[in-house]
Amino acid sequence: MLSVYGCVCVWQVVDMGCAECRALHVYRSVDTLQRIVGVDTDRQLLADSSGRLRPRASDYLVRRSSPLTVELYNGSLVDCDKRLMSVDAVTLIEVLVFITL
């Protein structure tokens, strides 16, 4: 579980607009996360970036406290996706650069 401000437990996180999956790669190091989901509108970018999320040799040397599932979905921030209903936290890291004021 990822503790945010010492009071919220996060077991599953989704990054909307994950693009090159940089945030997801960082989330993999959080030992207590059980499910990481990336969503982006660019199907080709997801395919190209998926290699970053494949298991590394070091993943087999040190056992996690709980199994980790990593999923990538083609989708949009504005579309409701029932597969994401059970997540504990949503991040918009790569999306923020596209918001204009």
Convert the pLDDT of each residue in 23-45 to its tens digit.
998 999 888 899 999 999 999 99
Q: Cα–Cα distance between 47 and 20 in angstroms, integer?
A: 9
Q: Decide if pLDDT at 58 tops 50.
A: yes
Convert the pLDDT of each residue in 63-94 to its tens digit.
888 899 999 999 988 888 999 998 999 998 86
The CA–CA distances, whole Å, from 7 to 12, 52, 61 equal 16, 31, 31
Tell me the whole-structure pTM to 2 decimals. Answer: 0.83
Q: Cα–Cα distance between 66 and 1 in angstroms, integer?
A: 10
Judge contact between 90 and 96, C-beta under 8 A: no
- Does 3.40.50.150 match the CATH number of domain 2-98? yes
Q: For the chain, give every domain's residue range.
A: 2-98
Q: Decide if pLDDT at 1 tops 80.
A: no
